[in-house]
Amino acid sequence: MIKIVYGNSFLKSVKKLPKQQQEKLADLLEVLRENPFHQLLHAKSLTGSLAGFYSFRITRDWRVIFQFVNPQTIKLIEAAHRKDIYR
C-alpha cells in the first residue's frame, strides 16, 4: 500500500472544490493508495514544465496533480479545475 502525503497547497485547494468533488476525491484517494494507475483514475504523466508530475481525474472537469516522492510515497500537489490546474 502506498503512503499519501498532502502538500499545504493541496489542502488549501481541496477546500475550494465543490462539495460533490470533495466527496468523490475522498473515495478516489483510497483507489490511489491501492494502485496509482488504476483505470478509474485516468492517471497520466505530464509533460513540459510539469514533467515529473502526474495527474488524475476527480471528475471529467476536475484534476489532481501529484508526484512520486519514492516508489512507496505519493505527494499530492494541487486539486483544481482542468482549465486552471496545468498553468
Nearest-10 Cα torsion for 54, 17, 14, 53: 10
For the full predicted model, state whether its pTM sits above 0.85: yes
Domain residue limits, the chain:
3-85
Q: Are 14 and 65 in contact (CB under 8 A)?
A: no
Q: What is the pLDDT along the chain (87 residues), one digit of tens a residue?
A: 899 999 999 999 999 999 999 999 999 999 999 999 999 999 999 999 999 999 999 999 999 999 999 999 999 999 999 999 998
What span, in angstroms and rounded, lies between the C-alpha atoms of 82 and 87? 9
Q: State how far the alpha carbon of 84 is from the alpha carbons of 1, 15, 42, in Å.
A: 31, 16, 18
Q: What per-residue confidence (pLDDT) applies to 58?
A: 98
Q: What is the pLDDT of residue 45?
A: 98
Tell the CATH topology of 3-85.
Answer: YaeB-like fold (3.30.2310)
The C-alpha atoms of residue 59 and residue 82 are separated, in whole angstroms, by: 10
Q: For residue 47, what is the DSSP state?
A: -
